[in-house]
Amino acid sequence: MDQNKWKETLEEIWGQTCKAAMDAGDAARTGVKKAGKATEDTVQYARLKWEEADLNARVRRCLQRVGEMVYATHTGDPTDSGDMEEVLQEIDRLREELRRRERQRMILRGQAFCEACGAMNDGKSVYCTNCGQPLERQAEK
């Protein structure tokens, strides 16, 4: 093999090696990005579960207070109705916040939330399986 042919062959091998290395680097970069996103989603999911547990505990404490107020009324020591209403409104607020966290968590797991009827749908659905309304892509927001 003459020297020019040998040089061309080496340059071709070098070019293929460089391209393969660049492709491997691109694939590694893509893999790292996907792993980072998956880790971020897992951390966010765990945070939402923790917040849901806290909200549920707060709802239970409010319900306990309501029960104590009802029992106090039963035993002849009536609770001011304004106090009772305040605790009941707090329960409503906490439960709405809990529903928001649950929706966020389900969206992280690939489900779609219907703004029209509140149903959770498969993340690939374009229309709500419950009411037929178009679904927004919350995961992209």
pLDDT in tens, 93-111: 999 999 999 989 988 888 8
Domain boundaries, the chain: 3-109, 111-141
Closest CA to 101 of 53, 43, 42: 53
Beta strands in the chain (DSSP E): 111-113, 120-122
- Length reported for the chain: 141
**pTM for this entry:** 0.67
pLDDT in tens, 18-72: 999 998 888 888 888 888 888 898 999 999 999 999 999 999 999 999 999 999 9
> What tokens does 34 get?
């996907």
The residue to which tokens 């070098």 are assigned: 14
